[in-house]
């Protein structure tokens, strides 16, 4: 699946979540996953609203003591939200029950955000303190977006140009030009336009999520839409303050259902093994569908590693650049192949052991069912039982039809 986000009235974390929930993301499962993040004292507000005649979902996190301008709240440890550093935020994500891919996406958003904040304030990533975006609601917004895209099986994200407002914005240090420095830094290289509106249309959190996860901004991709959702913002403008999310398949498949993809490879024999983890993470963040390592033998019988990735054609150059910058290789080979994908659906199933996601693929009318491994591991950890035992018990509990 792909998602196309139309920033009609801009983008914020809560507008994005509202649109994805309106498009079919299960709010109960979203909340259950978010509750595994070790931050307390929050609840959810959700209601149906109308913005200039457009029905939309307003979704927000309610956190006493934390207002919409980033007022500091207290953690159980006594550290305020305004005092969180990047390492604090990443630790919260790592200690959560998010899946590996969800954690990777969320971590990538926050690293990008820290780099933008550091550049705007003339300091280092290690020294930067998050203010508005270090608040609990922003942490939940970022993690929630990663969970929601995963729940909707969205592999690629596209968006329209970013509409920018006029005037100034009130933030932690005072009033800033609109957009504020960190937001402007995040939007560097992205298509923007003056929306002619007095007010903040693109928040720092919204900019961080989209400029990290969006593969291409500016034009609508050729697609077959399946689900449409609208997320509402808090403000009322002369234009509808909504974000529209369209979920569907990319058009342009050939009659056999195959799509053309880029396969990238590099052989490496001089890189520290510990460094491959981050390299794989950043290649996936650059837009690759998948990335892998495999042992190979090079000339003079030298043992080496084959670093491979598969990516959409539009992301080929960026994925190749990332491999070159994150590994010690001097070159990347590329070839174009065709890829076949089965029709798939994802369902959340309640069991006596807890909820689990079940992926179903169809081939010639027959269903092939797979338990989401991250959920099996989560349940095994919660019950302190072997993962094989839990998988077997879940298979027996879940109806086959």
The per-residue pLDDT for range 250-277, each reduced to its tens digit, is 776 554 567 889 999 999 999 999 999 9
Backbone φ and ψ for 150, nearest 5 degrees, come out as -65, -45
| pLDDT value at residue 132 | 47
Biggest CA-to-CA distance, the chain:
71
Helices (H), 232-330: 276-285, 316-326
Q: Sketch the domain layout of the chain as residue ranges.
A: 2-250, 258-340, 343-397
CA atoms within 13 A on the CB side of 23: 32
* Nearest-angstrom CA–CA distance, 378 and 333: 38
Cis preceding-peptide flag for 179 (omega within 30 of 0): yes
The C-alpha atoms of residue 338 and residue 283 are separated, in whole angstroms, by: 20
pTM for the whole structure: 0.67
Range 354-365 average pLDDT: 77
Cα angle vertex 58, ends 189, 238, to 5°?
A: 65
Strand partners, 203: none
What does the alpha-carbon distance between residue 177 and residue 156 come to, in Å, rounded to a whole number? 32
pLDDT in tens, 139-195: 899 999 999 998 998 888 999 999 999 888 776 666 778 888 889 999 988 899 999
CB 13 within 8 A of CB 205: yes
What is the chain's mean pLDDT, rounded?
85
Is residue 303's pLDDT more than 60?
yes
Position with higher pLDDT, 361 vs 164: 164
Helices vs. strands in the chain: H and E counts, helices first: 11, 18
Q: By mean pLDDT, which of 4-18, 34-48, 341-355 is the weakest?
A: 341-355
The structure tokens 């809560």 sit at 14
- CATH topology assigned to domain 258-340: Alpha-Beta Plaits (3.30.70)
Instruction: Return the closest-CA partner of residue 162 out of 53, 337, 8.
Output: 8
Q: Which of 65-79, 273-287, 368-382 has the least mean pLDDT?
A: 65-79
SS3 content of the chain, % helix, strand, coil (to 5): 35, 35, 30
DSSP state of 286: T
Q: Do residues 90 and 100 touch, judged by C-beta distance below 8 A?
A: no
**Burial group, residue 19, by CB count within 10 angstroms (0-12, 13-18, 19+):** buried
Compute the distance between CA of residue 356 and CA of residue 358 in angstroms, rounded to an integer. Answer: 6
* Residues in the chain, total: 401
Tokens at 73, concatenated:
């709240």
Q: Which residue has the tokens 């509106």?
A: 197
């Amino acid at each position: 699946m792909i998602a196309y986000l139309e920033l009609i009235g801009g983008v914020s974390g809560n507008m994005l979540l509202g649109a994805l929930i309106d498009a079919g993301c299960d709010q109960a499962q979203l909340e259950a996953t978010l509750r595994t993040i070790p931050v307390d004292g929050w609840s959810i507000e959700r209601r149906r609203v109308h913005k200039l005649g457009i029905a939309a979902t307003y979704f927000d996190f309610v956190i006493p003591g934390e207002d919409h301008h980033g007022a500091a709240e207290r953690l159980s440890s006594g550290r305020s939200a305004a005092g969180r550093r990047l390492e604090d935020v990443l630790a919260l994500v790592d200690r959560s029950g998010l899946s590996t891919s969800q954690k990777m996406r969320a971590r990538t958003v926050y690293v990008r955000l820290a780099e933008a904040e550091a550049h705007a304030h003339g300091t280092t990533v290690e020294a930067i303190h998050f203010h508005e975006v270090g608040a609990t609601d922003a942490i939940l917004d970022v993690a929630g977006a990663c969970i929601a895209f995963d729940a909707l099986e969205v592999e690629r994200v596209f968006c329209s140009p970013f509409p920018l407002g006029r005037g100034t914005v009130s933030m932690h240090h005072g009033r800033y030009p609109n957009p504020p420095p960190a937001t402007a830094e995040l939007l560097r290289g992205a298509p923007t336009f003056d929306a002619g509106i007095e007010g903040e249309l693109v928040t720092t959190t919204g900019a961080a999520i989209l400029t990290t996860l969006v593969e291409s901004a500016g034009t609508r991709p050729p697609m077959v839409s399946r689900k449409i959702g609208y997320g509402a913002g808090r403000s009322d403008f002369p234009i509808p303050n909504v974000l529209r999310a369209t979920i569907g398949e990319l058009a342009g498949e050939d009659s056999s259902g195959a799509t053309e993809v880029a396969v990238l490879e590099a052989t490496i024999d001089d890189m520290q093994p510990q460094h491959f983890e981050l390299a794989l993470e950043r290649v996936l963040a650059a837009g690759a569908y998948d990335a892998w390592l495999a042992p190979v033998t090079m000339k003079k019988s030298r043992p080496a590693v084959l670093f491979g990735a598969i990516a959409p054609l539009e992301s080929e150059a960026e994925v190749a650049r990332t491999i070159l910058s994150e590994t010690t290789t001097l070159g990347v080979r590329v070839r174009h192949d065709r890829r076949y994908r089965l029709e798939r659906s994802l369902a959340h199933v309640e069991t006596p052991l807890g909820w689990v996601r079940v992926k179903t693929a169809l081939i010639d009318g027959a269903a092939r069912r797979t338990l989401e491994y991250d959920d099996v591991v989560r349940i095994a950890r919660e019950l302190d039982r072997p993962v094989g035992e839990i998988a077997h018990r879940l298979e027996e509990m879940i109806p086959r039809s």
